[in-house]
Amino acid sequence: MDFPTIYTNFWDAVIAVPVVMILTQLLKVFFKISKKYVPVVALALGLIFAIFISHHHSLKAGIFMGWFYGYAAIGNYAALKNTILVFRKNA
């Protein structure tokens, strides 16, 4: 099995993940998406962004990096939310 060569750079993490986070939150607000579906939306946006924009040259690379974008956005949102909740509780 031949694995694809995936070129990851600084901009993938600095641009793609925040874009997925922001778009997910905008969709959540404007379309009243249920909380249980928000991670699925983030994952779908990550896949779309990676497959069609950042890694359009390789479907395998796009799927791999799309999972990274989606799950990184989910994890960053959860960490930020928990940090804010703990800070409010202790302040």
| Rounded Cα distance, 89 and 81, in Å | 12
Q: Is residue 3 one of the residues assigned to a domain?
A: no
State the total domains in the chain: 1
Q: Is residue 6 one of the residues assigned to a domain?
A: no
Give the residue from 14, 11, 28 showing the smallest Cα distance to 81. Answer: 28
Cβ–Cβ < 8 Å for 43, 67: yes
pTM: 0.83
Q: Is residue 37 one of the residues assigned to a domain?
A: yes
Q: Is residue 1 one of the residues assigned to a domain?
A: no
pLDDT value, residue 3? 73
More confident residue, 91 or 72: 72
pLDDT value, residue 47? 96
Q: Write the pLDDT tens digit of every residue in 42-88.
A: 999 999 999 999 888 889 989 999 999 999 999 999 999 999 999 99
Q: Is residue 4 one of the residues assigned to a domain?
A: no
Q: Is residue 5 one of the residues assigned to a domain?
A: no
Q: Is residue 2 one of the residues assigned to a domain?
A: no
pLDDT value, residue 7? 67
Domain residue limits at 22: 12-90
Cβ–Cβ < 8 Å for 41, 28: yes
Q: Write the pLDDT tens digit of every residue in 1-41.
A: 777 666 667 777 789 999 999 999 999 999 999 999 999 99
